Structures are given as C-alpha cells and as structure tokens.
Chain A
Amino acid sequence: DSGVTQTPKHLITATGQRVTLRCSPRSGDLSVYWYQQSLDQGLQFLIQYYNGEERAKGNILERFSAQQFPDLHSELNLSSLELGDSALYFCASSPLFPGRRYGYTFGSGTRLTVV
C-alpha cells in the first residue's frame, strides 16, 4: 500500500455518462496530481491541486474537472463520456511542491471503461 488511495479500482460506464474518481493522498501530503494513461497517448498530466487550490493544468478536457477538498482528498469528475476516455487514471501526491527531498507517491489507479 503506497498510502495514496484511489477509488473505485474499476469503473464501467456508458457513453454520455458522468463519473467521479476519488483520491485520498498520503497522510501529510498537500499536493495532488491527476494523470491519464491511455494506450495511444501514454501517461499525461491532467491537473494539480495544492492545499485546495488549482496549481497547474495540463491536457485536461473541458468535460473534465477536479477539486481538492479541505480534508485534502481530491475528486476528478468526467462528464459526457466518450469511448476515447477509456483509460487508467492515476492520482499521485507529494508533501509540498516536490522538492529535492520529496518525490511522488502514486495510487494504484482507476481503470475506466466507457462502452
């Protein structure tokens, strides 16, 4: 167990639907990152939150949104789902901004299948 908890582990849903992925960071970590891993695009950075505030945005679609709550857990909301959204979604956390002493801790991922 890495200390980063992602739920659910697997999700199967239909096109057009909306889902919420949840991430609880490692205890004490303030930053949460979301990544998408698909077969054709590999791993891509989606978005980062630090202590409740959005810090950086990557290749995140407008249909996707995220937030980090006061207890530091984060949710990634995916709406109007398309077949191409099928992927592994990873969450990672770090203590502050990753500095020279700190790295990332990854969760085990949520596998989303859109049918």
Chain B
Amino acid sequence: KNEVEQSPQNLTAQEGEFITINCSYSVGISALHWLQQHPGGGIVSLFMLSSGKKKHGRLIATINIQEKHSSLHITASHPRDSAVYICAVRGSGGTSYGKLTFGQGTILTVHP
C-alpha cells in the first residue's frame, strides 16, 4: 500500500461543477502539499497545509491531521482547471523532513 493515496484517479466534470479530490496518507507528516501539473509537464505548488483550511480563488484545501486526510475542492470548475492534481506529504523528522512523497495524481478533465 502506498504511503499516499489519492482518489479518484480520473475525474471528468462539466464546467461549473464543484469538484473534490481526496488524499489519505499513512505516515507522520510536517506538511501536505497540493500540486498542479498541466500537460507539458510543469509543476505548480497550489497549497501547503499543516492544519485547517486554505483558500485561493476558487480553490480550497483542507486537512484533518487526526484522520490523516486532505481534500482539494474546486468551485465553479472551468476547462482551464483541467490538469493533474498531485497530493504530496513532507516527512516529519530527521532526513525525511525535506523530502516529498507523492500520491499517484488525479487526472481532472473539465468539459465546456
């Protein structure tokens, strides 16, 4: 079993729909990151969370440390949101503190 599990693996939505991507992890972490990767490859960091909730525009990220679970929500989805969304956790101590462990990614396609 992977240390970081995302669901769903693939997600198709119509423009305007509310989208949720889930991430569960099984290790102790110091922070959780949500990343976005568009076709063509570049990775953009969307959020870094260690507790609670963050919002940026139409994107909302939440984390529940006790349940080892995080969600990424996209409100009023748009075709330009089509990308791969990756959950990554940062280790909690020692030499694992800086390294990220990644989920397998969620491929989101938003149709007009």
Contact = CB atoms under 8 A, between A and B. Distances in A.
A47 B5 CA distance: 22
B41 A94 contact: no
A44 interface: yes
B89 to A, nearest CB: 11
A58 B103 CA distance: 16
A33 B99 contact: yes
Given A98-B31, A100-B31, A103-B33, A45 B100 contact: yes
A45 B97 CA distance: 12
A56 B41 contact: no
A103 B31 CA distance: 9
Nearest to B88: A43
Contact of A100 (B42, B43, B50, B97): B50
Q: Name the residue in A45, A55, A90 with the highest tally of chain B Cβ atoms < 10 Å from its Cβ.
A: A45
A103 B41 CA distance: 19
A73 interface: no
A98 B96 contact: no
Given A98-B90, A104-B33, A88 B99 contact: no
Interface string B99-112: 11111110000000
A88 to B, nearest CB: 6
Given A98-B90, A108-B42, A58 B99 contact: yes
A109 B42 contact: yes
20 contacts: A2-B44, A33-B98, A33-B99, A33-B100, A42-B103, A42-B104, A43-B86, A43-B88, A44-B102, A50-B98, A55-B95, A56-B97, A56-B99, A104-B45, A106-B35, A106-B42, A106-B45, A108-B41, A109-B41, A109-B43
Interface of B: 31, 33, 35, 41-45, 48, 50, 86, 88, 90, 95-105
Which 6 A-B pairs rank lowest in CB-CB distance, beginning with the nearest? A43-B102, A106-B43, A103-B48, A56-B95, A45-B99, A108-B42
